[in-house]
A and B are shown apart, each in its own frame.
Chain A
Amino acid sequence: MSEPVIRVENLRKNYGTVAALRGVSFEVQAGEVFGLLGPNGAGKTSTIEILEGLRTPDAGVATVAGIDPQTAGLEFKQEVGAVLQSTSLPDKLRVSEALALFTGFYRRRADPELLLRRFQLEEKRDVFYSQLSGGQKQRLALALALVNNPAVLFLDEPTAGLDPQVRREIYDIIEELKQEKKTILLTTHYIEEAERLCDRVAIVDSGKIIAQGTPRELKHSSAGTTRIEVRLAKQVSDGILNNLEGVSDSREFEGVYVLHSTRPPQTIVALVKLLEAESNELQSLEMFSPSLEDVFLELTGRRLRE
């Protein structure tokens, strides 16, 4: 295998007494889209910001194209592009001015006009930043990340807080970048995003990587169970659902019972019988194919959205 473009080895970072990163290690190959999937506070942003050179690690190694972002200085920034999780631009800066300004900082420059067209911002070229919608701001952030036509891109929660329609638009853009063979490190807490966009995913929790692989590999590792989510009229005692036919695991999250089953039809029949016997009622039932959410649940006992 060729030399990885991004290499992270035993990365550690503390904020006061809080350990944000507790030995994170992974590698990203050229042209690969690698996702860090985890809940808020898992350590995803700390990892990506260390790689961007915005934060200093307490220990460990982080390199991008063989360069240490901590010591490389401005030269390193010529080579990478990034979308930050929380950032802004001056309110009274027009879209076209922002693109022209940032393009001017780099030696290798993309054409700002092409970027405006590509990110559907042509009509907004003379609009102030403060007048853009959330989705338009995010498209501009992506356009700004590409002004130097970088080979390596860092995207920190690129669709967080956006409505599903805009999120899908951003997915299309990232898929285009993937086709252009850019190496992308992406953080997200959306399962759909990780499954759709990433070649490989590392599941992060409490500052550690708890699983790593292609989405397919990870889902297979979760025993290939189907997730059944049910709401009941009355609560049932702990563990009773665990004894249903085919159920490998059951947990309750805020009134929703989440069952993992290897034989869903038999499980549902058994559930209905149990509810009849207990004079309980089924209020809703949803079934899901195995997903990364299930992998996370299996590994941590918590849901990703918690």
Chain B
Amino acid sequence: MKNTWSLTKIRILLALRNKTFMFFGLIMPLGFLFFFVLIFGHGRTGWIAYILGAVLTITVMGSFWGLSVQLVMFREQGILRRFRLAPVGAGALLASSIFANYVLILPAVAAEIIICREAFHMVSWGNLWAVFALVSVGAGTFSAFGLIVASVTNTMQETQVINNLLWSAFLFLSGATVPLAVFPVWIQKVALFSPATYLAMGLEASTTGYIGGHELLEELIALAVGLVVAFEVSRQLFRWEPEAKVPGKAKLWVIAALVPFLLFGAYESSFGNQLSRIQKHFQMLDRQTSSERAR
């Protein structure tokens, strides 16, 4: 645990000295917020909380992108093999990546919430405890996904391609950009198999304050199970050396990381009420906007 803590501190320090991190970790998420508010929230105060939920989702999901790129870069530059000589296990190294990443997204998360409330006149603070819980677990889950991507790709180019594909799927099939409620039902059902959907649904419901924390248990469980499984998979697939080949069983491990969401998706699309809940919230927001306009 001591090694994990030492590595976490250094990773945070290194990130704060990196201009790229400052751009992608702070400026870009705030850019998303201003852009969304300008396009979708202009003159519709009720929507600000919903937009905040979406932007928080994007901020948290960004974890996987930065971590995978950094880990592959460290491996390609031979930095990981120097750590391999020391009595440091893969678990400590990977866990430190997740902890550091979590700490590093908190300033952007806090800034987004405060700006929405103070500058964009968000109606209420929403359910901040639920937001905190979802951001914490979600950041871990998506960081662990990033570590898996880093383990199954051999070069930076490969990592970027996979990241782009995953990022697009997470972004457009979760409700983080376009509200899930406006999609045809079959797309909504497909979205239930994506981890990003659970994060987006949970955060949007928490920031709008439409539901209590206990009603987010399903989202939290889905993300927490995803975190545990994805972390273990990333530990199993971890490679210190650039020339170490991805083992044949790697693909099976990657599938294993998706199993929790396949199960949650299957359950939710057959027996769950998440889709009807987001439909209901969307209509409430619509009505709220109409009444704002009428006033």
**Interface SS, A side:** loop
A229 beta carbon closer than 8 Å to chain B: no
Interchain CB contact under 8 A, A101 and B6: yes
- Binding-face segment, B37-45, B61-69, B72-80, B181-189: B72-80
Interchain CB contact under 8 A, A88 and B78: yes
B241 beta carbon closer than 8 Å to chain A: yes
With contact pairs A74-B89, A101-B10 given, residues A88 and B3 touching in the complex (Cβ less than 8 Å): no
Chosen A-B contacts, 28 in total, with CB atoms closer than 8 Å, are A54-B240, A74-B87, A74-B88, A74-B89, A75-B87, A77-B85, A84-B78, A84-B85, A86-B78, A87-B78, A87-B79, A88-B79, A89-B79, A89-B82, A90-B14, A90-B74, A90-B79, A92-B14, A92-B17, A93-B10, A97-B10, A101-B7, A104-B3, A104-B6, A105-B3, A105-B86, A106-B86, A106-B87
How distant is the Cα of A90 from the Cα of B10 in the complex, in angstroms? Answer: 10
Q: Contacting B18 at CB < 8 Å: which of A52, A75, A84, A92?
A: A92
Considering the complex, which residues of chain A in the window 65-84 have a beta carbon less than 8 Å from any beta carbon of chain B?
A: 74-75, 77-78, 82, 84
Q: CB-CB < 8 A to B77: which residues of A?
A: 88
With contact pairs A84-B81, A87-B81, A106-B87 given, residues A93 and B14 touching in the complex (Cβ less than 8 Å): yes
How distant is the Cα of A275 from the Cα of B204 in the complex, in angstroms? Answer: 93
Q: CB-CB < 8 A to B7: which residues of A?
A: 101
How distant is the Cα of A78 from the Cα of B85 in the complex, in angstroms? Answer: 9
Q: CB-CB < 8 A to B214: which residues of A?
A: none
Interchain CB contact under 8 A, A82 and B79: no
Q: CB-CB < 8 A to B18: which residues of A?
A: 92
> Residue of A at shortest CB range from B15?
A92
Q: CB-CB < 8 A to B14: which residues of A?
A: 90, 92-93
Q: Interface readout for B98-120 with A: 1 if CB under 8 Å, 0 if not?
A: 00000000000000000000000
Which of A77, A90, A102, A144 has the largest count of B CB atoms less than 10 A from its CB? Answer: A90
* CB-based closest 5 A-B pairs: A74-B87, A77-B87, A92-B17, A87-B82, A105-B86
Q: CB-CB < 8 A to B6: which residues of A?
A: 101, 104-105
How distant is the Cα of A97 from the Cα of B9 in the complex, in angstroms? Answer: 11
Q: CB-CB < 8 A to B2: which residues of A?
A: 104
Give the Cβ gap from B129 to chain A, nearest Cβ, in Å: 35
Chain B interface size band reads 20 to 34
B84 beta carbon closer than 8 Å to chain A: yes
Give the Cβ gap from B79 to chain A, nearest Cβ, in Å: 5
How distant is the Cα of A175 from the Cα of B289 in the complex, in angstroms? Answer: 79
Give the Cβ gap from B100 to chain A, nearest Cβ, in Å: 12
Give the Cβ gap from B9 to chain A, nearest Cβ, in Å: 9
Give the Cβ gap from A184 to chain B, nearest Cβ, in Å: 16
Q: CB-CB < 8 A to A89: which residues of B?
A: 79, 82
B13 beta carbon closer than 8 Å to chain A: yes
Interchain CB contact under 8 A, B82 and A84: yes
Q: CB-CB < 8 A to A92: which residues of B?
A: 14, 17-18
Q: CB-CB < 8 A to B79: which residues of A?
A: 87-90
Q: Contacting B87 at CB < 8 Å: which of A93, A101, A105?
A: A105
Q: CB-CB < 8 A to A78: which residues of B?
A: 87
How distant is the Cα of A106 from the Cα of B87 in the complex, in angstroms? Answer: 7
Using A87-B78, A90-B14 as known contacts, list a sample of 20 further A-B pairs with CB atoms less than 8 Å apart, ordered by residue number in A: A52-B85, A54-B85, A54-B240, A54-B241, A74-B88, A77-B86, A84-B81, A87-B81, A87-B82, A88-B82, A89-B79, A93-B10, A93-B14, A97-B13, A101-B6, A101-B10, A104-B3, A104-B6, A105-B3, A144-B82
Give the Cβ gap from B16 to chain A, nearest Cβ, in Å: 9
How distant is the Cα of A191 from the Cα of B190 in the complex, in angstroms? Answer: 66
Q: Interface readout for B1-27 with A: 1 if CB under 8 Å, 0 if not?
A: 011001100100110011000000000
How distant is the Cα of A77 from the Cα of B87 in the complex, in angstroms? Answer: 5
How distant is the Cα of A48 from the Cα of B81 in the complex, in angstroms? Answer: 14
Q: CB-CB < 8 A to A82: which residues of B?
A: 85
Q: CB-CB < 8 A to A90: which residues of B?
A: 10, 14, 74, 79
How distant is the Cα of A75 from the Cα of B6 in the complex, in angstroms? Answer: 19
Give the Cβ gap from A187 to chain B, nearest Cβ, in Å: 15
Which of A52, A93, A101 has the largest count of B CB atoms less than 10 A from its CB? Answer: A101
Give the Cβ gap from A160 to chain B, nearest Cβ, in Å: 14
With contact pairs A90-B14, A101-B10 given, residues A54 and B86 touching in the complex (Cβ less than 8 Å): no
> Residue of A at shortest CB range from B74?
A90
Give the Cβ gap from B277 to chain A, nearest Cβ, in Å: 45
Give the Cβ gap from A84 to chain B, nearest Cβ, in Å: 6
> Residue of B at shortest CB range from A129?
B79
Q: CB-CB < 8 A to B89: which residues of A?
A: 74
> Residue of B at shortest CB range from A83?
B85
Q: CB-CB < 8 A to B85: which residues of A?
A: 52, 54, 77, 82, 84
How distant is the Cα of A78 from the Cα of B2 in the complex, in angstroms? Answer: 15
> Residue of B at shortest CB range from A102?
B86
Which of B74, B79, B241 has the largest count of A CB atoms less than 10 A from its CB? Answer: B79
> Residue of A at shortest CB range from B81?
A87
How distant is the Cα of A88 from the Cα of B82 in the complex, in angstroms? Answer: 7
How distant is the Cα of A104 from the Cα of B83 in the complex, in angstroms? Answer: 12
How distant is the Cα of A87 from the Cα of B86 in the complex, in angstroms? Answer: 13
Give the Cβ gap from B243 to chain A, nearest Cβ, in Å: 9
Q: CB-CB < 8 A to B81: which residues of A?
A: 54, 84, 87
Give the Cβ gap from B87 to chain A, nearest Cβ, in Å: 4
